[in-house]
Amino acid sequence: MGVPRIDGGTLFIDGRWGEAAGGSTFESTNPATGERLGIVSDASRDDASAAVAAAAAAQAAWAQTTVYERSSILYQAHRLMTERAEELAQLMTAEQGKPLRAARNEVRYAGDFLIWFAEEAKRINGEVIPSANSGQRFLVLRQPVGVVAAITPWNYPISMITRKVAPALAAGCTVVLKPAEQTPLCAVAVFRILEEAGVPPGVINLVTTSAPAPVGAEFLESARVRKLSFTGSTEVGMQLAGGAASRMKRVSVELGGHAPFIVFDDADPVRAAKGAALVKFLNTGQACICPNRIFVQSSVMDRFRAELEHRVAALHAGNGMDPANAIGPLIDRASLEKMERHVGDAVARGARLAAGGARLTGGDLDAGFFFAPTILVDVTPEMIIYREETFGPVAPLIPFESEDEVIAMANDTTYGLASYVYTQDLGRAFRLMEALEFAVVGINDINPTSAAAPFGGMKASGLGREGGREGLSEYLETKLVGMVL
Ligand code: ADP
């Protein structure tokens, strides 16, 4: 089968689709089958520079549009995304690998950001502050920060784009987006929607590339870029945030996690195991909110573990297009090797396998990067998996005895993104939500996220929040005006 070349190129700069200036291209492939899905334009630093110039040229006029005009474009984009939901979900499953049902959920979530910020745009209010002097007034204006450079990951290839672009547009900022090299076609599909929704030329610009570093360098070094919004690994995020700090650019970075999932003996272990199975194996474990350490109070460990094993045994891995499959492929070979390293190290240091533990092969599985849903028991702090983010379908179980002990263990990580607690004790729920050094806490809740709520990380998991009112503030400057009458 011939590989479709995306007509006219996949760079979107100043309202026009085009090829990279040097004519380079790269391929997008299906991680379940190895099949090539399309040929996309491979932007260089010069292309990124042209995109930044287009965004800068469009900035002043876009900032002057009314919030009602910007809101109406976002509503329109939401309508188009909803109409094309099935098409987008199928593309996402093909390009990223998640099961179709999960892809449909993600498209809905992506649309939620469009509509949430369409509404929030109308509430970019200023303030009047009384002065001690009768002849003086203070005004506070909230204005767009200016050109935003956005860098997004492959694991949520559509919603991570709308989570940044929708608030930036609502605030009156122009944007240059660099999507992950693994999922450029999803970004192209989102940009077609935004274009059709009526975003004016230059206001949104897309640079697909297989070489992120030079594009990232352009974002950092161009004085016209005022803000960097990044979602991805802690390593790259820290490097970019460091570069932004030395130039005093605004940053929002949402990075890795190492979520504790804590099950107390006053909770129903069966319900907790059901929750653990759902959130641990979400997107084949490739989400920054996936539990990486499952702490279970010793007295309920056996019941919890039996139920988790029962649920894991029912998880079928394979191509996400087949509704029978709940576990899709990992994104690439390096991820597969990381699973083997984490599991191998844990077993060598005394952990035991209660399920899975190896790559899945045979038949169609050979063409993709499939790893068996895995349960490790007796995991200890010396193991790599206790410290490093796994980003795959491996559930490490760790027993604990007391509340104080588990709080200390849970916080013993450089990360601070998501955390989960199962308890029926109200006092304990409050103590835990206050003591956990994580910016998102689910109490008997495995889905504590919404476009309407502020999401982000503490400690090495990031800076800033996305979604909610806070998600819009990230794209606004606060200007103080003193006025003598
Ligand atoms: P992962 O390991 O999950 O792919 P990365 O942090 O490498 O996480 O990727 C997240 C995003 O960051 C992707 O869009 C990727 O292209 C981009 N990226 C990776 N390295 C750099 C870099 N040096 N400069 C700018 N962006 C980068």
DSSP string covering 124-184, please?
A: ---EEEE-SSTTEEEEEEEEE--EEEEE--SSSTTHHHHHHHHHHHHHT--EEEE--TT-H
Domain spanning 259-450: which superfamily?
Aldehyde Dehydrogenase; Chain A, domain 2 (3.40.309.10)
pLDDT along the chain (485 residues), means of 10: 65 98 96 95 98 98 98 98 98 97 98 98 97 98 98 98 98 98 98 98 98 98 98 97 97 97 98 98 96 98 98 96 96 96 98 97 94 97 97 98 98 98 98 98 97 98 97 98 97
Query: Which parts of 246-401 fold into alpha helices (H)?
Result: 269-280, 298-313, 333-348, 384-387
Q: In sequence order, what are the residues at sequence separation of 6 or more whose Cβ sits closer than 8 angstroms to the Cβ of residue 248?
A: none
Strands 225-231 and 204-206: unpaired
Q: In sequence order, what are the residues at sequence separation of 6 or more whose Cβ sits closer than 8 angstroms to the Cβ of residue 434?
A: none
Smallest CA separation from ligand 1 atom 25, residue: 216
Kindly give the distance from the C-alpha atom of residue 233 to the centroid of ligand 1, in angstroms, as a whole number: 7
* CA 54 to each of CA 12, 59, 341: distance values in angstroms, whole numbers, following the listed order: 10, 9, 45
Q: In sequence order, what are the residues at sequence separation of 6 or more whose Cβ sits closer than 8 angstroms to the Cβ of residue 175?
A: 55, 147, 148, 149, 150, 164, 165, 168, 169, 203, 204, 205
Find tokens 């200016």 and name the residue.
Answer: 146
Kindly give the distance from the C-alpha atom of residue 37 to the centroid of ligand 1, in angstroms, as a whole number: 21
pTM: 0.97
Query: What are the backbone dihedrals phi and psi of residue 195, each rounded to the nearest 5 degrees, phi first?
Result: -60, -50
Smallest CA separation from ligand 1 atom 19, residue: 212
Domain ranges, ordered by start, for the chain: 11-255+460-484, 259-450
The closest-lying atom of ligand 1 relative to the alpha carbon of residue 219 is 25
173 is catalytic: no
Kindly give the distance from the C-alpha atom of residue 17 to the centroid of ligand 1, in angstroms, as a whole number: 24
pLDDT for 7 equals: 73
Cα–Cα distance measured from residue 258 to residue 307, given in angstroms and rounded to the nearest whole number: 23
Kindly give the distance from the C-alpha atom of residue 153 to the centroid of ligand 1, in angstroms, as a whole number: 7
Smallest CA separation from ligand 1 atom 23, residue: 213
Cβ atoms of 456 and 299 closer than 8 Å: no
The closest-lying atom of ligand 1 relative to the alpha carbon of residue 239 is 23
Closest by CA to 164, choosing from 222, 110, 213, 220, is 110
Please tell me the number of Cα atoms within 13 Å of 150 on its side-chain side: 31
288 is catalytic: yes
Smallest CA separation from ligand 1 atom 7, residue: 233
pLDDT for 2 equals: 41
Cα–Cα distance measured from residue 253 to residue 73, given in angstroms and rounded to the nearest whole number: 26
Closest by CA to 181, choosing from 207, 214, 220, is 207
pLDDT for 6 equals: 67
pLDDT for 8 equals: 81
**Sign of the C-alpha dihedral, residues 337, 342, 343, 349?**
positive
Kindly give the distance from the C-alpha atom of residue 239 to the centroid of ligand 1, in angstroms, as a whole number: 10
Q: Read off the DSSP letter of residue 29.
A: E
The closest-lying atom of ligand 1 relative to the alpha carbon of residue 391 is 3
- Ligand 1 is surrounded, with C-beta below 6 A, by 151-153, 178, 180-181, 212-213, 216, 232-233, 236, 240
Name the active-site residue from 19, 95, 218, 254. 254
pLDDT for 192 equals: 97
208 exposure class (CB count in 10 Å sphere: 0-12, 13-18, 19+) = buried
CATH architecture of 11-255+460-484: 3-Layer(aba) Sandwich (3.40)
Kindly give the distance from the C-alpha atom of residue 38 to the centroid of ligand 1, in angstroms, as a whole number: 21
Smallest CA separation from ligand 1 atom 18, residue: 212
pLDDT for 152 equals: 98
pLDDT for 417 equals: 98
Q: In sequence order, what are the residues at sequence separation of 6 or more whose Cβ sits closer than 8 angstroms to the Cβ of residue 410?
A: 260, 262, 293, 295, 419, 436, 438
Cα–Cα distance measured from residue 45 to residue 216, given in angstroms and rounded to the nearest whole number: 8
Q: For the beta carbon of residue 178, count every other beta carbon within 10 angstroms.
A: 25
pLDDT for 183 equals: 98
Q: For the beta carbon of residue 196, count every other beta carbon within 10 angstroms.
A: 12
The closest-lying atom of ligand 1 relative to the alpha carbon of residue 209 is 16
User: Which residue among 160, 236, 240, 417 has the greatest number of ligand 1 atoms within 8 angstroms of its CB, and so is best to mutate?
Assistant: 236
Kindly give the distance from the C-alpha atom of residue 122 to the centroid of ligand 1, in angstroms, as a whole number: 33
The closest-lying atom of ligand 1 relative to the alpha carbon of residue 180 is 14
pLDDT for 1 equals: 34
The closest-lying atom of ligand 1 relative to the alpha carbon of residue 233 is 6
Name the active-site residue from 173, 186, 288, 290. 288
> Distance from CA of residue 270 to its chain's centroid?
29
Smallest CA separation from ligand 1 atom 2, residue: 233
pLDDT for 5 equals: 56
* 3-state percent helix, strand, coil for the chain, nearest multiple of 5: 40, 25, 35
